[in-house]
Structure 1
C-alpha cells in the first residue's frame, strides 16, 4: 500500500514539474538540490540525508536509506531594470525605462526516491528544478528611435521578457566500497524550455543602423513561442568518513549536460540555438563535534564560460554602435558559432550550513551561501533580460518527525538585494539591474527504512494532529469577484494618449465569480487543495469626444470645431488554476477557521469593441492622430482589438467552515489572486459554497 501511494505522488509531481518555470540564485543554478539542503545554504557534497541529495552527490544514496520525498516551494523574485537616462546616462537612440518584472511568484516542486538493493549497492531517482529565469517587463526598454523625430519602435508597452525552465532527473547508482568510503554515479537526464518576446527592435536596429551586422537569422529570434530541448550528462561522486565518523569529505564532478538545440531560437543563442547546462564540480566537508550537531561546507565551481550562449561576450563599451562586437566582426552575429552571448564568467560558490538535532523529533538548521555575480559590469546589456545578480543568501529550516515513517521539512531562503550598474554601454548608455529573492518551501518525506539520521536523544512528545478528518474532499463556491486595480483614470489617460481626444470612462469592477476545487486533508489541521476559479467578465466603457476642425463657410483658414461622439468598450475575461496549502484551526466542534497560501496559474484575455459615430451629412471626422499607431500594444488602446496575458503568481485567502453533516460542510471564503497583467493587479474573490468529504 505504501508503494502504491508513493507511485501516485510521484506521478502528480512529475506532471506538475513539467510546466514549472523557476528562477535561479547562483547564476543559472539553484543554491542547492532539495529544500533540506537549501535550508543549510545549499550544502550537499559531504552531507545529504534525503533522496534529493543524490543530485548534489550520487554517493549520498548510500546514506539516505529507503525513502521518498516530495515538496513544493513558492519562489519570489523581485527584479528591476533601468536603462538610458533612467540609469544615469542618456542613450544616443533614446533607449530608456525603469521597470520591474511583473511575474514575481513561481511554483517549485521537487521529488525523489532512494533505496538500498543490497548492503553495499543503492539506487536513486530524483526530479529537481535545476535553474532558469523568467521576466515579464510591461515597459519595453528595448524600444528605440532611429532618428530624433522617428516614432519609438516597438511600442513602449510591447511586453518584453524571457522564460527559461530547466529540469534535471539524475538516475543514480551508489556503491559502498567499505565502512568508510562510498562512490556513486548518475546519468543526468535534462529537459528545458524557452521563449523570448518583445525583441522586435533587434532586427530593425540591425538593419537600419548596423547595416545587417547584428543577426544571422532574424526570423528565429523573438515571439515564436515556446521551444523545447533535451539532453544528458553524467555526475560522479565520492564520500569518505574519518576520525570515527566525525569528519566526512566529499567530491563531485558533473559534466556539461549536452542539450539539443532550440531550433525556434537559432537566431538568438550561439551555435544556432544551443544552450547546454554548464560543467560544475566541488568539494565538501561535514564535521560532527557531537552526535546531534553537524557543520558542513561546500565549495563549487561552475564553468559558465564554456557554454557559448552564456559565456560569449555580448554588447559592452564604448558608448556607440562600436560597443556591439558584431558591428566590426561578422563572425559573432547572434546565432552564429561564436555568436554574442551574455558574457558570463565562471563562478565559485561558497556554502556553509549547520544542522542541530534538538530532540528525538526536531532538527533545526541554518545556512549561508555566497557566489560573486558571474555578470561583468560591462556585460549588462543582454543581462537586462534576466538579471541574475544576487550574491548573498541566508536560509533557515526545520525537520519534524511526525512518526517513524513521516518527516515534515520547512525552509526559508532570503537572497539579499544586489545591484549592478554601468555607463558607456554601447547603444543603451546607462544600465542598472537589481534583484532580491525569497523562497518558502515545505516537503514531506516518507521513510520506509531510515538511513543516517541526526536527531537528538532528548525525548519529545509528538504533536497530536489527529487523523479523523483524513481523506479527499471536493466542493464549489459562488460569489463576487472584484478587480480592485480596474481604474477609470487608467482608461482616460491611455485612451486620450492613444487617440489624441479626451475620453471619459465608467468602469465596473465587480462580476460574478465561482470556483471548484478538490483537496486532500491530512488531518484536522492541514490540507492540500487545488482547483479552478472563473471571475467572468469585467468591463470598462469609455465615451470619447472627437474634435473635427472644418473650414467654416468654405473659407480657408477659418476653422470651426465640430464635436462627434464615440465609444470604446473594454472587456477582460480572467480565470485561474490554483494550488495551496490549507491550515485549519478548529474553533468549536463544528466551526473551523481557514487560511491558505499557494500559487495560481492565471489567464487574462481582453478585447475591445470600438465605435465612432459618423454623421450622415457634413464633414467626416479627421483620421486618428499618428500617436495611435505607436500605441498598438497598449491593452487599453481601442485599436488593439484583443490580446492575452498569462503567468504564475501568489494566491492566498481566509475563510470559515461549518460542518453541517458528517461529510458536508458550508464554507465562506475571501481569496486574493495576484495577477501580473498590466490591466489587472489582483482579483479578490468572495464566495459561499459547499464541500463534501469522499
Structure 2
C-alpha cells in the first residue's frame, strides 16, 4: 500500500515534464480529443456515466467515488494528416508533422466508504501544423520559411468525490493549466496587427490558469448509470509574445464545456454508453471572432474585436459498446460524431489550425492477466473532411470565393497499463 501511494507523486511529476517537453497535437472534436483514457477512446469517447479507470478528473469527477484503488498510465501515438492549397494557384501542401506521442496518467484511492481522492494528468487539446515553403522560400500565407503553429494545453487535475447517498456522488476537480504556443511563417500578417512585432517567429510562449470541473454520478438500480460533468471557461494569462496575433492582446482561454451521459447494462456482459457533450468555442474571442470578416472590416489583429479563427460552438455525440467476453478479455467499439467548428468563410486563416474532423470510428480491448493488473489498447480513425472557402489577396483586396481548401484525416493507437491495489 505504501509503495502504491508514493508511486503517483514522483511519476506524475515526471509525466507532466514529459508532456510539456513533447510536441503533440489533438484535433478531433475541434482541438479537444475525442476521449480521455484509452477505455473511453475505445468507446468513441463515451465516459461520463462510466466508472472504470483513474481518469475521473477529466471525464466526470464524481465517478472517482466508484473507481476503487488503482493507477493507470498510458501513451498514444496520434497521426493527423493535414493539407491545404489555394485552388488553381498552388499545389497541395501537406503538414510535415504527422506523428505525436501523448502520455497520460490517472490515479484513484478510496479514503473511506464515501470519500475518494484522485489525480489526473492529461493533455486537454492542441494543434500543431508545419508546412514547408515553396522553392522560392515563400509559404502558403505569404510569409518566409516554414509555416505553422504549435499549441499545447496540459492539465493537472486533483479530484475529490463524495457519495452523498448510496450510489450517488458529487465530485470536484480543480484544473491547474499550462499552455504553450508558438507561431512561425506568418510574417505577412504583421501589417494587419496593432502590434506588428508580436505576431510571428517569437519563439515559444507560455500561459497559466486555474479552472474547475464539477460532476455528478448516479446509479439508478443495478443496470443504469447516469452522469453530468461541467467545466466553465478557464481564464488564462496572456501570450505576451503573441499579443499582436490573438484577440484581446494575447488572450487564449480554454472554452466552457459540459456533457451528460447514460450507461445501460443491457445484458450481464454488454454495456452501452451514450454521451452528449458541447464545447463552447464561441465564448473565446481569439478562437471565435471572424477571420476574413474582421480583416475586411478593418479590425486589427490583437484588438479585442480583432480577427480570430471563426470557430463556432460544437455539439458531440459519443456512442460506445463494451462486451465482457470472459474474465480476461473486454472488447469495445464506438462512434463519435460532432459538428465542424470551421465555416467556409474562415477556411483561409484555418490553414494554421484545420480542426475539421467530424466522425470517428473506434475500437479497443482490455486484457486482465490477473485481478490486480490490466493492459488496455485502443485504436481510432477520423474520417477525412474538407472545407472550401474564400481567399483574399491582402495587398490588392481581391477575393476568390472558392480559393482556399483545407483538409484532414487522422488515425491513432494507444496502450495503457493499470494496477489495482
| TM-score bracket relative to the smaller structure | over 0.9
1:281 aligns with 2:255: no
How far off its partner does 1:421 sit? Answer: 1.0
- Which deviates more, 218-227 or 43-52? 43-52
1:109 aligns with 2:103: yes
- Specify the alignment match of 1:379 in structure 2: 346
Q: Is the 8 A contact 1:34 1:53 kept in 2?
A: no
Local SS of the residue matching 1:30: coil
- Specify the alignment match of 1:133 in structure 2: 127
Local SS of the residue matching 1:45: coil
What TM-score comes out, normalization by structure 2 length? 0.93
- Specify the alignment match of 2:84 in structure 1: 81
How far off its partner does 1:48 sit? Answer: 2.9
1:169 aligns with 2:156: yes
- Specify the alignment match of 1:57 in structure 2: 60
Higher relative contact order (CA 8 A, sep 6+): 2
Residue pairs, 1:279-358, within 5 angstroms:
279-316=256-293, 325-329=294-298, 332-358=299-325
- Specify the alignment match of 2:330 in structure 1: 363
How far off its partner does 1:84 sit? Answer: 4.5
Q: Is the 8 A contact 1:33 1:42 kept in 2?
A: yes
1:278-306, Cα deviation, whole Å (9 max, x unpaired)? 00111110000122211000000110010
Residue pairs, 1:559-598, within 5 angstroms:
none
Residue pairs, 1:453-492, within 5 angstroms:
none
**Which protein shows a greater Rg?**
1
Local SS of the residue matching 2:14: helix
1:438 aligns with 2:415: no
Local SS of the residue matching 1:15: helix
Q: Which residue among 190, 195, 205 is the counterpart of 1:217? A: 195
| Counterparts of 1:348 and 1:384, CA distance in 2 | 23
Q: Is the 8 A contact 2:139 2:185 kept in 1?
A: no
1:320-364, Cα deviation, whole Å (9 max, x unpaired)? xxxxx34434xx310011111000110000000011111111110
1:372-417, Cα deviation, whole Å (9 max, x unpaired)? 2111111111101110111100100011112222110001011011
| Counterparts of 1:33 and 1:63, CA distance in 2 | 18
Q: Is the 8 A contact 1:37 1:53 kept in 2?
A: no
| Counterparts of 2:85 and 2:137, CA distance in 1 | 11
Q: Is the 8 A contact 2:133 2:139 kept in 1?
A: no
| Counterparts of 2:165 and 2:78, CA distance in 1 | 40
How far off its partner does 1:14 sit? Answer: 2.3
Local SS of the residue matching 1:416: strand
Q: Is the 8 A contact 1:144 1:201 kept in 2?
A: no
| Counterparts of 1:44 and 1:144, CA distance in 2 | 41
| Counterparts of 1:423 and 1:270, CA distance in 2 | 22
| Counterparts of 2:254 and 2:143, CA distance in 1 | 32
How far off its partner does 1:100 sit? Answer: 0.1
- Specify the alignment match of 1:257 in structure 2: 234
| Counterparts of 1:97 and 1:81, CA distance in 2 | 9
Q: Which residue among 9, 12, 15 is the counterpart of 2:14? A: 12
| Counterparts of 2:93 and 2:177, CA distance in 1 | 33
How far off its partner does 1:245 sit? Answer: 2.1
Residue pairs, 1:173-252, within 5 angstroms:
173-203=160-190, 206=191, 214-242=192-220, 244-252=221-229
1:107-160, Cα deviation, whole Å (9 max, x unpaired)? 110001111111101111100111110011002699489xxxxxx9645xx111
Local SS of the residue matching 1:259: coil
What runs of 5+ residues in structure 1 fail to find an aligned partner? Answer: 87-95, 146-151, 207-213, 317-324, 449-694
Q: Is the 8 A contact 1:135 1:385 kept in 2?
A: yes
| Counterparts of 1:35 and 1:219, CA distance in 2 | 42
Q: Is the 8 A contact 1:97 1:139 kept in 2?
A: no
| Counterparts of 2:317 and 2:337, CA distance in 1 | 5
How far off its partner does 1:272 sit? Answer: 0.6
How far off its partner does 1:19 sit? Answer: 1.8
| Counterparts of 1:27 and 1:230, CA distance in 2 | 21
| Counterparts of 1:218 and 1:359, CA distance in 2 | 62
How far off its partner does 1:2 sit? Answer: 3.8
| Counterparts of 1:154 and 1:187, CA distance in 2 | 41
Q: Is the 8 A contact 1:187 1:232 kept in 2?
A: yes
Q: Is the 8 A contact 2:348 2:391 kept in 1?
A: no
1:76-124, Cα deviation, whole Å (9 max, x unpaired)? 01001011524xxxxxxxxx44200001100110001111111101111
Question: In 2 relative to 1, CA 161–245 (structure 1 residues): closer, same or farther, beyond 3 Å?
Answer: same
Q: Is the 8 A contact 1:425 1:431 kept in 2?
A: no
Q: Is the 8 A contact 1:142 1:199 kept in 2?
A: no
1:459-513, Cα deviation, whole Å (9 max, x unpaired)? xxxxxxxxxxxxxxxxxxxxxxxxxxxxxxxxxxxxxxxxxxxxxxxxxxxxxxx
- Specify the alignment match of 1:572 in structure 2: none
Question: In 2 relative to 1, CA 380–447 (structure 1 residues): closer, same or farther, beyond 3 Å?
Answer: same
What runs of 5+ residues in structure 2 fail to find an aligned partner? Answer: none
1:34 aligns with 2:37: yes
